[in-house]
Structure formats: C-alpha cells, structure tokens
Amino acid sequence: TMVDKGGHKHFMGKEIAEQPRVIGEAIRAYMPDGDTIALPDGGFDFTAVDRLTLVACGTAYYACLTAKYWFEQLARLPVEVDVASEFRYREPPIPARTAALFVSQSGETADTLAALRYCEGKASSILAVVNVAESSIARESDLVLPIHAGVEVGVASTKAFTCQLTVLLILALEAARQRGEISPERLADVLSQLRNLPAVIGNALDTDAFAAHVSNELAEAQDVLFLGRGLMFPIAMEGALKMKEISYIHAEAYASGELKHGPIALIDSHVPVVVMAPRDALYDKTVSNMQEVMARGGKVLLISDSAGIEQAGEVWRSITLPRIDPLLTPILYALPAQLLAYHTAIAKGTDVDQPRNLAKSVTVE
C-alpha cells in the first residue's frame, strides 16, 4: 500500500495525529449500531473460559499489560501476560479452559508467531488482535480481531497501540457482559463514553505545542523516569519505551509504589520524572510519591487532569488532559507519552521514523 506523510514531517507525526479518526473506526467496527458490542465472525464465548493468556512483544506487550487490568477488574477473569520470547521457551503449562490471545501490529513477529504455535492444541482457543488482517498470526488464529488502525509506517508504534487498547477494552467489556460482571447501566455508560473518546483524543492533541516545549528541556537529560499506578503503569512503560526507541535517552518506568524500592536512589536535579496520574482513587498516594521526588531535587513533569494538577501544587511542569472515566485513561494518556518522545527526538535531531538498530517488524529471532 502506498501511503505518504500527508503534509507531516514524519510518518510518526502523521500517525499520532490520525488517532482520533482511527480510534473512531475501531469503535464503529466493534459497535456498529452505536450502543452494543458486536465481535467479528460470530464472536467469542467468554463463559467457556476460566482464564486468559496474553502474549506479545514490544508496544503490543504493554497493550496486553493494560488489558490485564481491564479483564481482571471488569470481567473478573484471571489474566497472565508474557513477552513472546520468554513464553515460547519457558513452555508454560496451559490449563484447560484457557484462551490464548496474541497482540501484534504486523501479525508477523517471529517470537509471537512461535508462541501462538506452541499454544495450538493446548489452549481452548486462539485469538489474535492484529492490524494486518492477512498476516501469519491472523491466519493461524481461531478468531481475528482487527484493530482498524490502517497502515503504520513509523517504526515506533503509536496509532496501532491506541487502537489495540480500544479493541482490548471492548473485548473486556464484552467478557464482563457475558459473565454477568457488569450492570447494563454501567456498560451503557462506558460505551457512551467510548463513543465520545475520539473527540477527547482530539482535545489531547492540543497539548502538542506544550509537549514540544517541554521536550526541548527533556532532550538535555541523560535519564528520564516514568511513574504510574494501576492502569497508568503500563502506559508509563510505553512512554519510557517510546523515549528510548526514538530519542536514545535512557528511560525507565516504575510502578509509583516501587519508587522507594530502588529508583529513588537515582533522583537528583538532572533526572526528569514523568508522572502519569489522572486524579483517581489512588491519587493521594501518587502525590506523596511526587513529594518524595521533589524533596530530593527531582523535576516532576505531571500529566494529569486539572483537578489532579491543582491538588499536586507546585511541580516542575504539567500537562493537562481532559477528565474522563478512569477506565479509558490509558488510551488518552498514551498521547502525551507519544508526543514527548516524538518532540524529544526532534529536539535531539534523531531519525524519528527509522531509529537506529530497530525494525518495524521483527520477523527473525
């Protein structure tokens, strides 16, 4: 397929900007009538399984880690998540009534495909969340769940990640519905907020100019820490991965509660700490973590909603996102994570679309 940059300097910038539209397309594909979920190809019976195993590599792995929170919280379905290269060689036992779900933008990642083949004849069914619907992983699965992101060219995945998250959230909601774990009222409420998500994502893109400004400062750093709790922990990991991949700045993500178990030793005025934290039930704990960082001279870049930013008091820098249902926050907070990495890479002058040593699709081990 021929695609161009559509007036953008990089494919990555174009693909970030496309997210309101492609997330909207994913939502329409899975909610064609606007208020009920319809899975492709006859769907899937989530009452026929007792657990899920999610396997992927790279950015898709962080989509799986996010989905674990959704499936466990919404559908009370236990979830195991693994990177494909570990899973395939560990050869884990697959208990009866386990569905294995593979997430892959390309559908061709060698380790993910090998992990899928390991599950053949062991898992009760094999599901694939893919962008390329005519890929090897799609062909070898029982049910293909396309993410509708369109062709992604930038090596660092952006729109595929948020579309993966969108489809995985819808799957978790459907699992919760089938298993009687969500009330019809709550389901209707979440689905109506999902319909509104593309507009909210559009608003988040308005932080682009400020993200570019902060990124000029991040570009001076040798190390950046990302912190998040709950659903924000995998998004912090994705933010750190993006930063490493394209700006070549060393970045690590920690669960906020782990701060005092190691990373706090690294904090000084040279280490920016990106805190991803909507004001949710655990926000007070995150505020204490930020105070611990600032007491040691650390520079906190807080990404939150206006209520969270107000409660935090004075921080080094902040990016304000719209306030939405906590369930949807991973999709929204992925955007500033992408924008910070993107603009930091531009500030450093690295090759944004073709970062050194990386490939879009890793089809050999």
Q: Hey, how many other C-beta atoms are within 10 angstroms of the C-beta on 294?
A: 18
Instruction: At 47, list the tokens.
Output: 């009452």
Examine residue 58 and tell whether it contacts ligand G6P (CB under 6 A).
Answer: yes
**Residue 114 touching ligand G6P (CB under 6 A):** no
Q: Are the beta carbons of 275 and 228 closer than 8 angstroms? A: yes
Tell me the backbone φ, ψ of residue 130, rounded to 5 degrees.
Answer: -130, 160
Among 60, 64, 191, 249, binds ligand G6P (CB under 6 A): 60
Nearer to ligand G6P, 166 or 320 (CB): 166
**Which one of 53, 85, 136, 157 is in contact with ligand G6P (CB under 6 A)?**
157
Distance in angstroms (rounded) separating the CA atoms of residues 349 and 9? 13
> Cβ contacts of residue 348 below 8 Å, gap of 6+?
219, 247, 248, 249
How far apart are alpha carbons 299 and 290 in whole angstroms?
Answer: 9
The reply to whether 117 sits near ligand G6P by the rule CB under 6 A is no
Tokens of 341: 């990495």
Q: With binding defined as CB under 6 A, does residue 112 bind ligand G6P? A: yes
Site for ligand G6P in 85-104 (CB under 6 A): 104
Cβ closer to ligand G6P: 109 or 338? 109
In the complex with ligand G6P, which residue's Cβ is closer, 65 or 156?
A: 156
Closest to ligand G6P by CB, 177 or 244: 244
Residue 196 Cβ vs ligand G6P, minimum distance, rounded to whole Å: 27
Residue nearest to ligand G6P (CB): 58
d(CA 161, CA 182): 26
Residue 90, CA distances (Å) to 11, 57, 94 in order: 37, 15, 12
Amino acid at 56: A
Q: What are residue 206's phi and psi, to 5 degrees?
A: -65, -15
Distance CA 365, CA 360 (A): 14
> Which is closer to ligand G6P, CB of 84 or CB of 277?
84
Span from 56-64, 140-148, 170-178, 255-263 in contact with ligand G6P (CB under 6 A): 56-64
Give the number of residues in contact with ligand G6P, rule: CB under 6 A.
Answer: 16
Contacts 24+ apart (CB under 8 A), 86-94: 87/53, 87/55, 87/115, 87/118, 88/114, 88/115, 88/118, 91/118, 92/53, 94/53, 94/119, 94/122, 94/123
> Which residue is catalytic, options 5, 122, 348, 360?
360
Binding flag, residue 105, ligand G6P (CB under 6 A): yes
> How many helices and strands (H and E) does the chain possess?
14, 10
Q: Which CB sits closer to ligand G6P, 124 or 158? A: 158
Q: Output 63 or 312, the one with its CB closest to ligand G6P.
A: 63
Strand ranges across the sheet with 143-146: 79-83, 51-56, 98-104, 125-130, 143-146
State the nearest-atom distance from the C-beta of 83 to ligand G6P, in Å. 10
186 interacts with ligand G6P by CB under 6 A: no
Contact between 361 and ligand G6P per CB under 6 A: yes
Task: Between 59 and 304, name the residue whose CB sits nearer to ligand G6P.
Answer: 59
Of the candidate residues 109, 207, 318, 338, the single one contacting ligand G6P (CB under 6 A): 109
Q: How far is the CB of 57 from ligand G6P (least distance, A)?
A: 4
Beta strand spans in 169-245 (E): 223-228
Note if 360 is an active site residue.
yes
| Binding mask of the shown chain, residues 304 to 343, with x at each position contacting ligand G6P by CB under 6 A | ----------------------------------------
141 part of the interface to ligand G6P, by CB under 6 A:
no
Give the DSSP letter of residue 1: -
| 57 lies in the site for ligand G6P, by CB under 6 A | yes
Structure tokens, 232: 């924000």
What is the smallest separation between the CB atom of 157 and ligand G6P, expressed in angstroms? 4
Catalytic residue annotation: 360
Point out which residues bind ligand G6P (CB under 6 A).
57-60, 104-106, 109, 112, 155-157, 358, 360-362
